[in-house]
Amino acid sequence: MLLSPLARARVKVARTLADAIRSSKGFSARLVGWRARSVEGCTVDPDVALMLALDDLMKSSDLRRFAPPEARARLAESVCMVEIPRLEGVAVSDVRLRGDAGPIPARKYVPEGLAAPSPCVVFYHGGGFVTGDLDTHDTFCRQLAVEGHVRVIAVDYRLAPEHRFPAAVDDGVAAFRDVAARAADFGVDPARIAVMGDSAGGNLSAVVSLKTRGETHRPALQVLLYPALDATCAHRSHAVFANGWMLTKGMIDWYYEHYLGPDPATRRNVDASPLLAPSVEGAPPALVFTAGFDPLRDEGVAYVERLTAAGVPARHACHESMIHGFVLTGGVAPACREETSRIVREASAALRDGFS
């Protein structure tokens, strides 16, 4: 989503204000306040804590007062305030993937010097199934392509409430199948295609991985970044981090109400809550990355436990000083940039060299 002139002006003002506050160490410390304290033995990164304090002032992460179209525009602004500069050295082009409901917009990233056929990541963006798009995650996808030295195909699946569940699932599965079926056209090695996503995109990656079990072409790897895996929100971390850490209970409910509708039973549908699937046997190997200060943290932990118990190779890393969404915030918190690069390297190595 391209920003309007007014939105660009707001981004500039917000960045200037944030820089001024950061330069005043005493004022910054007062703003951080209670977030400097340990929670369950962990302390949030200082730069992240300041970002959260500034969000308290600007209220930029609480989208509930907006209709979905405006919420999407506001999220795009927020991402521009905190993301790293776009990396060079990657060719970017728009493509169309085949879907049952019509063509699915997508964006292909090919880093310089990468010969075909190559490993590929099919990427599903986060945003609660309501917000987010190819532009909000463009900078991350460039980083993934350049630092991971892989092709990336980012999927612009349909969003709720205009297209409720299971539209995003249908698009996610169709997009993976089309990339695999046309691997040669995309310069992709069909045996080395991973699915990857953050938050809602992590949900779709897990669902695609389960729904394609037994097919000729299935993901070689699933990479889940602080994924949403259980829409019943019953895990302890939902209570511990319900407020104050960017993604709140109120926002989670807002997202799910738009995506799943009013029927509580839909939250237990396995295509909405893959953690509740009767069986996860036969799923592809998994890398699951969670954040220490995230209401979704325990869902990722529980999913790794289920995969491991079912004999699926799986590794989990909790980035203890991070919050939900940290892979998009490296522009204001160096630790977020470092942790994101570490994730990219690990995912690339597992896809390129095999899971071990």
Give dist(CA 215, CA 97) in Å, integer.
Answer: 19
**Rounded to the nearest 10 degrees, what angle do helices 334-353 and 46-58 cross at?**
110
Element (H, E) at 88: none
Q: Which residue, among 186, 199, 83, 187, has the nearest Cα to 130 in the 3D structure?
A: 199
Answer for the pair 273, 230: CB distance below 8 angstroms, yes or no: yes
Cβ-Cβ contacts under 8 Å for 8 (sequence gap 6 or more): none
Answer for the pair 131, 75: CB distance below 8 angstroms, yes or no: yes
DSSP 260-278: H-S-GGGGG-TTT-GGG-S
Give dist(CA 332, CA 168) in Å, integer.
Answer: 31
Give dist(CA 155, CA 6) in Å, integer.
Answer: 28
Residue 89: CB atoms within 10 Å: 10
Positions annotated as catalytic residues are: 199, 294, 324
